[in-house]
Chain A
Amino acid sequence: MTASTKVHVSLEQAKLLVQHLESNEQEKANELIAEIQNPINSELFAEIGKLTRQLHDSLMNFQLDSRLNDLATADIPDAKERLNYVIARTEDAANKTMDAVEAIFPVVDTLQAQVKSVTPDWQKLMHNKIDLSEFKNLCRGIDGLLTTTSVETEKMHGLMTDVLMAQDFQDLTGQVIRKVIDLVREVEDSLINMLTAFGISSDGTLESKQPGERKVGKNLVEGPIINTEERNDVAANQDDVDDLLSSLGF
């Protein structure tokens, strides 16, 4: 502070001060000193005022950056919901897969047991050591095996299709996670911009980085809709899609 050098005491003021002191008028002397010091105070106040305004403006700009506000109040809670969706979908897929596999095991076991039951008679036939009653028994066994195989393999086919279909989570969760990664990148860029604005980093390489380049139609293409029941601009399921298409004469 160089303010002290700006204090000007005139000769009249000095004489007056001595006069006040000599005549024992302490109060008047104090007043005079306050008056002499006043220019310092007003400059100091002006300086503080300016700083306060700057601080206030900075805070206001900070709040007015609505993107930051959106990030904090909408996008991040939305990302949490999206990640919960990933958990739900992957868990669902794992359960569906295991359900199907567990249902396939007994089917395979049944077939194996029937094969085992006809094997002794079959071995006798192969070695020409079978008698008529054993042959009849073998025929009944083979007949049963053929019927079971036909029924059970069809069941297995259906279950295996279920396993296959349960893998569709990978596509959906992959898309959701990509969206969240984009958000994280945007938050990162916003934080860097904020640091730059407050002059904490003046690294030129940071400024050359544009926050997440926008694709054309970015707002149109959205990926899996998680909160279908809260929205009326989306089809909640295939039936909704079919209804909409048929209303268009499709």
Chain B
Amino acid sequence: MKVLVVDDFSTMRRIVKNLLRDLGFTNISEADDGSTAWPMLQSGDFDFVVTDWNMPGMQGIDLLKNIRSDPKLAHIPVLLVTAEAKKEQIVMAAQAGVNGYIVKPFTAATLKTKLDKIFERLG
């Protein structure tokens, strides 16, 4: 399974990458914002996206909306891992078709639970 981790902070990308590796995901690529991620998604065969919300350039919510409105990519599960915690934003992300929402700071256990849930639902 090919995973794309999108976050403007390299430390957070490293944390997420390490946790994902611990959970058995070994094929992981990184992007530092939505506009870097978008061409990678277009040309790569990614199966899963983990993204931050607040990033310079294209934000996570816009990346999610773009993924959902692209017939080739619309099926890809997207997990938001973000410090954004306004109810308005969580509702917005749900309406945009997010598959999971983790609020920072988070734990390794939370990430595992959310991933299990996402892939269990996808079957």
Binding site for B on A (CB under 8 A): 161, 164-165, 167-172, 174-175, 217, 220-225, 228, 233-238, 240-241, 244-245, 248, 250
On whether A238 and B110 interact (CB within 8 A), knowing A168-B12, A174-B9, A222-B84, the answer reads yes
Extra inter-chain contacts (12) besides given A161-B18, A235-B85, CB under 8 Å: A161-B19, A167-B11, A171-B83, A175-B83, A220-B89, A223-B54, A238-B102, A238-B103, A238-B106, A238-B110, A241-B90, A248-B91
**Interchain nearest-CB distance for A179 vs B (Å):** 10
Q: Report the bound CA distance from A100 to B54 in whole Å.
A: 30
Q: Report the bound CA distance from A223 to B106 in whole Å.
A: 15
Q: Which residue of B lies closest to A170 (CB)?
A: B11
Q: List 20 A-B contacts (CB under 8 A).
A: A161-B18, A161-B22, A164-B18, A168-B12, A168-B105, A168-B106, A171-B83, A171-B104, A172-B105, A175-B54, A175-B83, A217-B59, A221-B59, A223-B84, A224-B85, A233-B88, A235-B86, A238-B102, A240-B85, A248-B91
On whether A244 and B108 interact (CB within 8 A), knowing A165-B15, A170-B11, the answer reads no
Q: Which residue of B lies closest to A237 (CB)?
A: B103
Q: Report the bound CA distance from A175 to B12 in whole Å.
A: 12
Return chain A residues, CB-CB under 8 Å to B105: 168-169, 172
Return chain A residues, CB-CB under 8 Å to B53: 221
Return chain B residues, CB-CB under 8 Å to A244: 87, 90-91
**Interchain nearest-CB distance for A150 vs B (Å):** 18
Instruction: Find the residue from A168, A169, A217, A245 having the highest chain B CB count within 10 A.
Output: A168
**Interchain nearest-CB distance for A46 vs B (Å):** 57
